[in-house]
Amino acid sequence: MIIIGGTATNGIDERVSRLLNLKLIKVEHKVFPDGESYIRIPEQINDKEVVLIQSLYPPQDKHLVDLFLMIETLADMKIEKINVVAPYLAYSRQNRRFKEGEAVSVKTVLNLIRKSGATSLAVVEPHHYEELEYFDGETRVIDPIPDIGKVISEKTKGPLVLAPDKGALNRAKRLAEILNTDYMFIEKERDLNTGEVRVKNLPELKVNGRDVVLIDDIISTGGTMVQAISMVKKQGAKNVYVSAVHGLFIGDAYSKLIQAGASEVIITNTIPQDPSKVSVVDVSDAIARTI
């Protein structure tokens, strides 16, 4: 088996290659003057199985097209098993039709990955596990929560683990079990026209003088987290640690979290991060374990 490093790996391909002691082939790539992608696998591959690592962080559309080109090129090279590892899976939040006529974006993306020639797909903490059923092949979920838990356990003992909505409750539960502590969630609702998120109810949390860890899969604009931070701070939380698997941090999202009262932001490296701002948890070990 060989590791193929795609055009968007954030160094994860190199670390996984070292951890598993597998040969790494880096894809050659460039962008033509008209914006189109050029892809080349620079070596003839004799192995029948490869692991292609390609994250799909912004610019998502370019990285997706690169992925399709790489998969089909490997298929043309007669590779029998093309195992795609996507540390961040773009379009995963549009996993069903919220309004009539909407595209189910993640379904389209997963269909295209499969039809390009991928035989299996592994994703780091997808938005919804069931959306992987759209991929007509073997799928695996890479769980980074134990690695996040190790980092948090060094910073606080017995915090309340809080999910910013019911959909993130499973993550909160898994993290709380690692930290040997309690957990709960906040109810929220989203306006389907504007996309605005607001807290639906404000539960009475026994957090006065206590640390709180907020956990979610994605931080995009940070709106949901900001509301949650403000809520627990008003109820007397001591320190608020904000954690997520995928940190997009659109616009001034990071600044909003800090201004709202976050003590620290803990994020994995599925998307490139600024280590001077956030604590970065490497998912390479989790990926290597899954492979």
Annotated catalytic residues are 188
93 marked as part of a ligand binding site: yes
Closest by CA to 60, choosing from 248, 287, 277, 273, is 248
What DSSP character marks residue 235? Answer: T
Rg (CA), the chain: 20
For residue 176, CA distances in Å to 159, 163, 170, 248 come to 9, 11, 10, 24
221 marked as part of a ligand binding site: yes
224 marked as part of a ligand binding site: yes
133 marked as part of a ligand binding site: no
DSSP 105-141: HHHHHHHHHHHHT-SEEEEES-SSGGGGGGSSSEEEE
227 marked as part of a ligand binding site: no
97 marked as part of a ligand binding site: no
246 marked as part of a ligand binding site: no
Distance CA 140, CA 123 (A): 7
Distance CA 158, CA 81 (A): 44
Closest by CA to 160, choosing from 257, 261, 237, 246, is 237
158 marked as part of a ligand binding site: no
222 marked as part of a ligand binding site: yes
195 marked as part of a ligand binding site: no
235 marked as part of a ligand binding site: no
What DSSP character marks residue 45? Answer: -
Question: Which segments are annotated as binding site for ATP?
Answer: 34-36, 93-94
Question: Which segments are annotated as binding site?
Answer: 34-36, 93-94, 127, 165, 190, 216, 220-224
Question: Which segments are annotated as binding site for D-ribose 5-phosphate?
Answer: 190, 216, 220-224
Question: Which segments are annotated as binding site for Mg(2+)?
Answer: 127, 165
